[in-house]
């Protein structure tokens, strides 16, 4: 088989894959993500999820044993997307944790100022589910503990006098941005998240 024939076959396979209907489990996951994020996990019932996904309840329960398991799957996807976004600026700021973090926070400020912004889905979950053993909360807690450690590590790389203190201060700033963005929109403190972080970092670095 020639290289041209192989290329045509590969292109046809990709085209067919793009046209293939989304699996029921994927439609459920996508619908749950949209509903859970914008309305809250507790506020959304299974009936609403299957209606938006265009599937039946048996289809949902074949893919997810319970709504709690679906909520944990939603947050697992959210956690993956969060880290992809958080790590993206590293390509433009190699070996520069300050530049990396400020670039991420600049993007966060912009997102937090848009209509429909509902903060961090992981933080929202912790507020909704006080039970530390809830499967969704467990996903959220793992993310937050990892983020805290990551920010402390970045603070050390910036040359902070007290990396743990600076890292925790930056974490508080992030969490505040998640909430204030929903309250004040584009005219609120979330818009100054990156500038506030820069001032905090500069005041914490050994000169």
Q: What is the 3-state secondary structure (H, E, C) of the chain?
A: CCHHHHHHHHHHHHHHHHHCCCCHHHHHHHHHHHHHHHHCCCCCCHHHHHHHHCCCHHHHHHHCCCHHHHHHHHHHHHHHHHHHHHHHHHHCCCCCHHHHHHHHHHHHHHHHCCCCCCCCHHHHHHHHCCCCCCHHHHHHHHHHHHHHHHHHHHHHHCCECCHHHHHHHHHHHHHHHHHHHHHHHHHCHHHHHHHHHHHHHHHHECC
- How many CB atoms neighbour CB 8 within 10 A? 11
Cβ-Cβ contacts under 8 Å for 128 (sequence gap 6 or more): 40, 41, 42
Calculate the alpha carbon distances from 45 to 2, 18, 183, 191 in Å: 54, 30, 26, 34
Q: Are residues 60 and 71 in the same domain?
A: no
- What token pair was written down for 112? 């937090």
For residues 55 and 94, state if they share a domain: no
Kindly state whether residues 76 and 108 are assigned to the same domain.
yes
Structure tokens given for 5: 């024939």
User: Tokens in use for 136?
Assistant: 């969704």
pLDDT values of the chain reduced to their tens digit, one per residue, 207 residues: 444 444 455 445 444 444 445 688 999 999 999 999 999 999 999 999 999 999 999 999 999 999 999 999 999 999 999 999 999 999 999 999 999 999 999 999 999 988 889 999 999 999 999 999 999 999 999 999 999 999 999 999 999 999 999 999 999 999 999 999 998 978 889 999 999 999 999 999 977
CA distance 29 to 126: 20
pLDDT in tens, 40-86: 999 999 999 999 999 999 999 999 999 999 999 999 999 999 999 99
Same domain, 53 and 131: no
Domain finish residue from 21, 48, 64: 64
Task: Provide the token pair at 163.
Answer: 């990396």
Q: Provide the token pair at 161.
A: 């006098």
Residues 94 and 178 in one domain: yes
CB 167 within 8 A of CB 155: yes
CATH classification at residue 27? 1.10.10.60
Write down the pLDDT at residue 13.
43
Nearest to 32 by CA among 4, 1, 63, 6: 63
Number of domains, the chain:
2
Please report, for the domain that includes residue 104, its CATH number.
1.10.357.10
Domain encompassing residue 6: 1-64
């Amino acid at each position: 088989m020639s290289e041209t024939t192989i290329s045509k076959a590969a292109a046809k396979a990709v085209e067919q894959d793009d046209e293939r209907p989304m699996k029921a489990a994927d439609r459920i996951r996508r619908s749950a993500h949209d509903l859970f994020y914008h309305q809250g996990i507790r506020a959304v019932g299974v009936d609403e999820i299957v209606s938006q996904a265009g599937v039946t309840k048996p289809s949902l329960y074949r893919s997810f044993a319970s709504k709690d398991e679906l909520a944990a799957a939603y947050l697992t996807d959210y956690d993956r997307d969060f880290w992809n976004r958080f790590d993206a600026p590293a390509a433009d700021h190699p070996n520069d944790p300050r530049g990396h973090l400020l670039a991420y926070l600049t993007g966060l400020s912009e997102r937090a100022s848009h209509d429909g912004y509902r903060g961090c889905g992981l933080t929202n979950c912790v507020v909704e589910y006080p039970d530390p053993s809830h499967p969704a909360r467990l996903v959220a807690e793992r993310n937050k503990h990892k983020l805290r450690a990551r920010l402390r590590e970045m603070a050390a790389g910036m040359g902070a006098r007290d990396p743990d203190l600076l890292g925790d201060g930056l974490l508080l700033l992030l969490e505040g941005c998640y909430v204030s963005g929903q309250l004040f929109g584009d005219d609120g403190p979330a818009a100054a998240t990156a500038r506030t972080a820069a001032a905090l970092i500069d005041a914490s670095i050994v000169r």
